[in-house]
Amino acid sequence: MRARLIAGVLALLLLTCGGVSLATAELLRHFLVGRLDQQLAQAGARYAASLEHAAGAPGTGIPAPGRPDAGADTRAQAPGTFGARLLDGRVTAAGVVDGDADDAEVASGDRPADTDDKVALTAVDGRHLAALPPDGSAHGVRLSALGGYRVRAAAGRDGDVLVTGLPTGPVDATVHKLVMVELLVFGVALAATGIAGTLWVRLSLRPLERVAGTAERVSALSLASGAVALSERVPDEDPRTEVGRVGSAFNRMLGHVEDALAQRHLVEERLRGFAADAGHELRTPLATVRGHAELALRHPGPVPPEVRHSLGRIEAESRRMGAIVEDLLLLARLDAGRPLADDEVDLTRLALDGAADARASAPGHRWRLDLPEEPVIVRGDADRLRQVVANLLANAAAHTPEGTEVTLRLTPDGPWIALGVTDTGPGIEPRLAERVFERFVRGDPARSRTRSAGSTGLGLAIVRAVVDAHGGSVRLASRPGRTEFTALLPAGRD
C-alpha cells in the first residue's frame, strides 16, 4: 500500500510536470514566433528586392558579368535574414545576410565582400517558396541549407514575388533551454517528493501498522479451548480518523470475542463439574446395588434359577456401570487439568504385565512382545499409563477375531518413546478412524467379539487424554490386516 501510494503520487506529479513543461514550451514558442513575425513585418522586403539588382538581369538568375555578388542591400537587416526573389514561380535569386553585416560600412559604401551570401536552394525549397501566398502573411518553412525559417512573401513592383525570412533557430534554442531547465527542476522536485512522500506516508500509515500488528498477534493466539486471555487492544480509537474507526471497531469485536470465549469457558467448566458431580453421586448407589446383589446371591436358602440369573445380571451390569463411572470421573479429572503423579515409570514392566493380562483374558489371540534390551523409562503416572496399555490391548482383543496376532512394541525414538500396539485384524474403516478417539464413539457392536457388552466408546478417549496429559500424542494407522495405535511419550531420561 505504501509503495502504491507513493508510486501514484509520483505518477501524478510526473504527468503534471510533463503537462506544465509542454504548455510553457508551447506558449514560449508561440510568443517568440509572434515576435519574429513582427520583426519580419518590420524588416519588409527591402533585402529581397535589392537582390534583383545584385543578382543580375531580371528573370535570368545568372549574375551579370563584372558585377559583384555582394551588391544586395543588407542595411538594418538582422544577421540570418533570408531573402529570395521569385519570378513566375521560379527562384531567380536567394541570399542570406551574414553575421557581420554592418550599417556603417554599408553607409560608407565600402561594402566588404561577405556582408551577404548567395544561397543555393534545392528544387523542393523552390517549390515551398513558390507555394507561399504573396499576401504578406508569415509562414514556417524548412530550407534544406539553412534550417527553419519564418517567411513572408510580398508582390514586388515588377511582377515578381519577394520572400523575406527570419531564422527560427534562436527560438528553438531558447525553447530548448527552457525545456532543459524545466527537466532539471522537475527532476529535483520529483526526487524530493519521492523522499518526503515516503517519509510522510510511512508516518501516516503508522497507526494502521499498529492495528495490523495487534490483529496479527490476536490471530496467533490459540482460541480453540480453555480459558483465553484476550487482552490485546488497538491503541488508536480516535473516531475522527479512518484508522481510529477501524481500531475502535476492531477493539469492540475483540471485546465480543473475549466475552464469548469467557462464556464458553464457563459452560465447559460447568459441564465438567457436572460430570464429576454426577460420577461421584452415582458411585455410592452403584456400590450399594452391587453389594446387595452379591449378598442376595450368597443367600444360603434355595433360590429359583430365574432369580439367581437376574441377580447375576444385576451384579454384572452394576459392575460395568461402575467401570463407566470411573472412566467418566477419570476423564473429568484429566479435563480439569488435575496434576498427575510424576514418577519414573518402567514402561517395560507395564508392557510385560499388560501382555500377561491380555494373554490370560484372550488366549485365542497370538500375543507378541517387542521390547528393547534396556528398560524403557518415562516420567509420569504409572496407574494411568497402565490403563493406556490395558485399553489398547483390550481393544485389540475385543475388536479382532481369534487367531489375530497382536504385537506390543516399545521403541525409543530420540526424545520420545513410541508405545505401539499392532494387530492383524480387520482394521477400522476411515470414517470411524477419524473420530475414534472421541468420547462414546465406537464401531458397529456387531463387529466386535464382545458385542455391545463391555463396549463404552470411552477406552480410546481415555488413552488420548492420558497421553496428552503426559505431553505426548497418539496416532492411528489402520487398513484391513494391519491396525497400529502409537502413543508417543516424552522419554524420562535423556
Among the residue ranges 12-20, 102-110, 375-383, 450-458, the one whose residues contact ligand ADP (CB under 6 A) = 450-458
Q: Would you list the DSSP string of 110-167?
A: ---TTSEEE----HHHHHHHHTS-SEEEEEEEEETTTEEEEEEEEE-TTS-EEEEEEE
420 belongs to the binding site for ligand ADP (CB under 6 A):
no
CB 374, min distance to ligand ADP, A:
28
With b meaning 16 or more CB within 10 Å and e meaning fewer, what string describes 293-310?
beeeeeeeeeeeeeeeee
CB 219, min distance to Mg ion, A:
39
Q: Residues for the chain: how many in total?
A: 494
User: Considering only residues 75, 399, 464, 470, which one is a binding residue for ligand ADP as defined by CB under 6 A?
Assistant: 399
408 belongs to the binding site for ligand ADP (CB under 6 A):
no
Nearer to ligand ADP, 355 or 428 (CB): 428
Q: Tell me the C-alpha to C-alpha distance, in Å, between residue 132 and each of 86, 148, 448, 492.
A: 11, 15, 113, 108
CB 366, min distance to ligand ADP, A:
14
Give the residues lining the site for Mg ion (CB under 5 A). Answer: 395, 459
User: Considering only residues 6, 101, 246, 460, which one is a binding residue for ligand ADP as defined by CB under 6 A?
Assistant: 460
111 binds, among ligand ADP, Mg ion, none (CB under 5 to 8 A by kind): none
User: Considering only residues 94, 428, 466, 469, which one is a binding residue for ligand ADP as defined by CB under 6 A?
Assistant: 428
326 belongs to the binding site for ligand ADP (CB under 6 A):
no
DSSP 8-class letter at 425: S
User: Considering only residues 474, 483, 488, 489, which one is a binding residue for ligand ADP as defined by CB under 6 A?
Assistant: 483
Q: Which amino acid would we find at residue 132?
A: L
Nearer to ligand ADP, 144 or 473 (CB): 473
CB 402, min distance to ligand ADP, A:
14
On whether the CB atoms of residues 80 and 96 are closer than 8 A, the answer is yes
Nearer to Mg ion, 197 or 459 (CB): 459
Handedness of CA 385, 422, 487, 395 (dihedral sign): negative
- CA dist 409 and 419 (Å) reads 6
- CA dist 391 and 480 (Å) reads 21
CB 395, min distance to Mg ion, A:
4
CB 268, min distance to ligand ADP, A:
22
Q: Which amino acid would we find at residue 65?
A: P
Residues interacting with ligand ADP, by CB under 6 A? 391, 395-396, 398-400, 423, 425, 428, 436, 441-443, 455-461, 483
